[in-house]
Amino acid sequence: MLFRTIDSIARGGEAIWLLLGRIGLGVLFVPSGFGKLMDPSRMTAMLTGKGFPAPMAWAYLAGAIELVGGIAIIVGLKTRSFGLLLCIFTLVAAYLGHPYWTMADAARAQNHVHFWKDIAIAGGFLFVFVRGAGALSLDRA
């Protein structure tokens, strides 16, 4: 009985649940992307330390992907494409930003958690990629 009720709630409110899920994922990226575009210095320093060529260009690209991708996910514009892009972006960010396997002690424990949170977020974007935006989106307008 309980499971049928839960299924009914999910089916009956599918459009709003998908919208709320998209908002939950998108709002993580909009302020981060805006911040990178306004001041890419932290990202540039991190990429420089990892030996990236043209780190400023990569920082601006990351900011643009986060800002535009986050907004697109929230409003449901080209949701499958941006879902896949942000999934890949988040996996790369997890690897570059939280390499806990190279750290010791407290930094290792903290980055271990952040790494796996990024993996979970990437999983959420896989759901967006596969399921699409739902009825309350520009994709369906």
Sign of CA dihedral 112, 118, 121, 123: negative
Q: What is the rounded distance in angstroms from the CA atom of residue 76 to the CA atom of residue 132?
A: 8
Residue 64 lies in a domain: yes
Output DSSP code: residue 39: -
Residue 84 included in any domain: yes
The pLDDT score that the predictor gives to residue 137 is 98
Residue 2 lies in a domain: no
What integer pLDDT is reported at residue 52 of this predicted model?
93
Domain limits for position 107: 19-131
Contact 129, 73 (CB under 8 A): no
Question: Does residue 3 belong to any structural domain of this protein?
Answer: no
DSSP conformational letter for 99:
-
The structure's pTM equals: 0.94
pLDDT at position 79, please? 98
What's phi and psi for 122, nearest 5 deg? -60, -40
Angle at 89 between CA 23 and CA 109, to 5 degrees: 90
Under 8 Å between Cβ of 33 and 64: yes
Residues of the chain with pLDDT under 70: 141
Indicate whether 8 belongs to any domain.
Answer: no
Query: Quick check: is 11 in a domain?
Result: no
* Total domains in the fold of the chain: 1
Beta strands in 41-124 (DSSP E): none
Give pLDDT, residue 141. 63
Residue 118 located in a structural domain: yes
Q: How far apart are CA 112 and CA 118, in angstroms?
A: 10
Give the C-alpha separation, 38 to 63, whole Å.
Answer: 9
| Token pair of 41 as six digits | 């210095």
The answer to whether residue 10 sits within a structural domain is no
